[in-house]
Structure 1
Amino acid sequence: MSVASEAATRQAPSGVMSRTDRAAVFLTLLGEEEAANLLARMGPSELQRLGRAMCALGEVGQDGIAEALADFVTEAEREVLPARDRSAEMRRLLERSLGPTKAESMMRRIEPEARPRTIEIARWLAPAVLVHLIEEEHPQVIAALLLMLEPEPAAEVLSGLPGAQQSLVVERIARIGPVSTRAIEMIDRLLTQRIGASFGADALALGGPREAANLINLAAGEVRNVVLPAIAQRDPPLAEAIEEELFTFEMLFTLDPQAMGRLLRDVDNEKLVDALKGLSKQEREPFFAAMSSRAADGIKDEIELRGRLARSEVEAAQRAIVEIARQLADEGEIVIGDDSGEFV
């Protein structure tokens, strides 16, 4: 705003106060920060004249205030506000007043046509998917992202993280200060990369049988048995398309020893023990057949020594292994299913 500085230098019009006095009154009506921002734009001579006028002001009545404001309005009518990025300007103002996180939320309400950030897309992902995307990131990054989610899914994501990581994330949530715009942009880029790497380059277009199948594969409980029959009643071809994209843990039983060996190289022993704990001895054989006798005996011993596991723990380990198998299949390193190409 240059009106105040210009007002201090122009010849005074007819009236009770000089133009400099009117500028001085106008500045006193502003808050300290706003007045300081205006003063910072002036030169030394302007500051000297205006500062002298402000120090000399006595009590200013309603007429004086009205005269100063009227002069400001007159000057403003001569001004033209240049075209610029209003969204960016509004975002900066909101960040100063509300903080980056709340400012981002408010901008989504007042700027509905803006391109959604990947962070916004992340709000719609299942917590298990988010865990898969961020579990290897620094606890500070995870903490910042969780603060941008609704409390319930954020809590589910936290529960899905490894136990040792949970305390680090919670500690940073408790200590975290303002999240800068640069940090938000960094998290946005990170999620874009992670989603693209996990679900393909076109993942941000969203939708499709593959994405639906990925979510079902990662979901806990009887989601598959509930969701697919319901979809089949409304849209049988769509249900069939999703079914074709689904990988199940049982599909791994048909892997040949070479493919199974490739899969097991990427599977953590703890997850493997948990996953096999819920299988019968016969169902475990395809896994043991791909190992050396010594390695197979070691896994068998660990299974026997492992205490009772909740069904949810077994299923979580199996889902994690299925996800690894899916990635290897997408990369062409293994084939799941028959050789017809239905699952590649």
Structure 2
Amino acid sequence: MALANPQIPGGSEDSAQKNLVVNDAKNQRNLSGDEKAAVLLLALGPDFGKPIWEELDEIEIRQLSRAMVRLGPITQDMLDELLGEFIMSVSSSGAMSGNTDTTERLLLSFLPQDRVDQIMEEIRGPAGRNIWEKLSNVQEDILASYLKNEYPQTIAVVLTKISPDHASRVLSVLPEELALDVVQRMLSIDPVQKDILEKIEATLRTEFMSTLSHTQRRDSHEQMADIFNAFDRQTEARFMTALEDINRDSAERIKSLMFTFDDLTRLESAAIQTLLQNFDKKELALALKGASDGAKEFFFSNMSARASTMMRDDMDAMGAVRLKDVDEAQSRLVNTAKDLAARGEIVINKGKADEEMIQ
């Protein structure tokens, strides 16, 4: 906004203009990163700035609000210079490329280093809105490997803050004596003071999460299990047989990680019915055409009497079908189940031997 040129009693217009220039010069100053961001958002106003505000978390909103309060006067020259700097940083190369490096450089132009480090760690690291949700997405053996070097009381605090199912998996892979000590401390733990909890969070973020993104890699057996899942059954059998001759341990590990059509028969009744509601009936008939008798009966038992009769009739009407087509239909059914599980609509339990129920 251009400044007015007030008439000063007892002085000339030139004198007033000189005073204005002097005042502008006094107001000119270097802005910090958060102050630059605050100025840009003020310049955008409520209409254009609203989408940006909506993407910020509470801490960022407070940080920018504090920066706005302490801004003081912002001259037209300061605003023009800041906007020019922003535009030049985006368009100086004549093209834009969105990647980790360019994002980090852009954030550093208006945010302090520690805040940028935290944002980039959140982008690179496991998913989650805060440090505790992120820890719940770290593989239990990796988290346990880090925690076993900490004090038992610290481990107890961490495990009380993450999801119970993940805490149980972490405890199961900790050294037994240490795990029992941690359990006892968790049973008698008192509310943790805020400053201590903040120190633990900061340590986890800087010493563990920040390095995790550079060191964590997916287990090769998990990757191979996904590849085997994508094979048709003949190719899978051929490769698995060959692998068993070469390395039986690896073959067994891959088998335990694979999620196959037969694993669908271990879904709970509510889950299988949700799956049936989300899968094409003709595709299901084709998938069941090549299934074992046990698998067929499992699916039929989770349908109404009328629906199961119609499904049997559809399968009979198909006549002979190609094994390849059956494999593809079964693969699509498995993928649908995985998609539903990813969205939290069903829970997949592969039913390992030590998890199966007995009468």
Q: For the superposition of Structure 1 and Structure 2, which TM-score range results when normalised by the shorter chain?
A: 0.3 to 0.5
Q: So what's the TM-score if we normalise by structure 1?
A: 0.36
Q: So what's the TM-score if we normalise by structure 2?
A: 0.35
